[in-house]
Amino acid sequence: MTAPLIAITSGEPAGIGPELCAVLAAHEWPVRPVVIGDLALITARVACTDRHVAVRAFDASQPPVPGMLDVLHVPLDVASEPGVLDTRNAAYVIRTLDVAVEGCRSGHFAAMVTAPVQKNVINDAGIPFTGHTEYLADQTQTPRVVMMLAGEYGEPRRWMRVAVATTHLPLAEVPAAITPDLLEDSLRIMHKDLRDKFGLVSPRILVSGLNPHAGEGGHMGREEIDVIQPVLDKLRAEGLQLIGPLPADTLFVPHQLERGDAVLAMYHDQGLATLKFATFGGGINVTLGLPFIRTSVDHGTALDLAGKGCADPGSLIAAMNCAINMLGYRS
């Protein structure tokens, strides 16, 4: 039986993404990783690591070889130096994503895993880009997706899964963005994908409030009363297991987290600061609601480490394992 192909986009060429890909050839997987990026770039950056990995151009007719990294060549626009951003390669980064999306939509790839990109250099090149999550939704014409980060924490090891209702928005714009439709769609997507792709038969979702102390009965804001609570009541009546709205400052204590399988926070830093503190280096990012599986590392491009071969590949390994597990749970 032919192993499914997993597309791995190598990310910002000046960052650590290209060299992290070396770990893919050093592991045995039940799938076949295919790195998408410039062949010469990947070869040079893999050589910076202490892993004994060879690099070759991907050819589907050739069987995988242990210790060999398959690269689907997408050429750089200009040569890239580790740690030095160049707007002239912004379009290259977008092309690698487009190749992976096209391959996933056609069924050539079973899933995609993404290394980090540098949003500001893409925007400085004149390409509107707020993040992988929003870009993939746009490219697949998916009206609503949900960004969820996950990772193991504590002793004994337990999973923390945190999704956000709003993603890369200025904080001042968040309250107006928290609408009944947004919350209902987000919770339905979470419920479906936690069930179908994570194997949770009846997922329990903890929902945070927006305001301090979840609004303190309306004295610190009415979003909980006017927006969040009515949505939770509606979906509970349909059988969804929803707990909240809960004060965000105490939601992440262990006895609260044990009540649920995942958290829906209202905005980016409200949920992800705690998750990254607890799981950084081994956490992952998952886009829920897409027509295919996409996972990612939970860190940035680490320009100061690029080309030194010392970046921790733990998050990339975790993202690969999550994609593989999700493929096994697909209905």
Q: To the nearest 5 percent, what fractions of the chain are helix, strand and coil?
A: 40, 20, 40
Is 276 among the annotated ligand-binding positions? yes
Is 133 among the annotated ligand-binding positions? yes
CA–CA dist 318, 147 (Å, integer): 17
Which stretches within 48-164 are classed as H helix? 90-106, 119-124, 132-139
Is 213 among the annotated ligand-binding positions? yes
Is 108 among the annotated ligand-binding positions? no
Is 308 among the annotated ligand-binding positions? no
CB atoms within 10 A of CB 148: 29
For 270-322, list the strands marked E by DSSP.
284-288, 293-297
- Give the angle subtended at the CA of 322 by the CAs of 316 and 324, to the nearest 5°: 105
CA dihedral in degrees (125, 22, 48, 16; nearest 10)? 30
The kind and range of the H/E element at 189 are helix 180-196
Is 294 among the annotated ligand-binding positions? yes
Is 268 among the annotated ligand-binding positions? yes
Residues that constitute the known binding site for substrate: 132-133, 276, 285, 294
Binding-site residues for a divalent metal cation sit at: 168, 213, 268
Give the annotated binding-site residues: 132-133, 168, 213, 268, 276, 285, 294
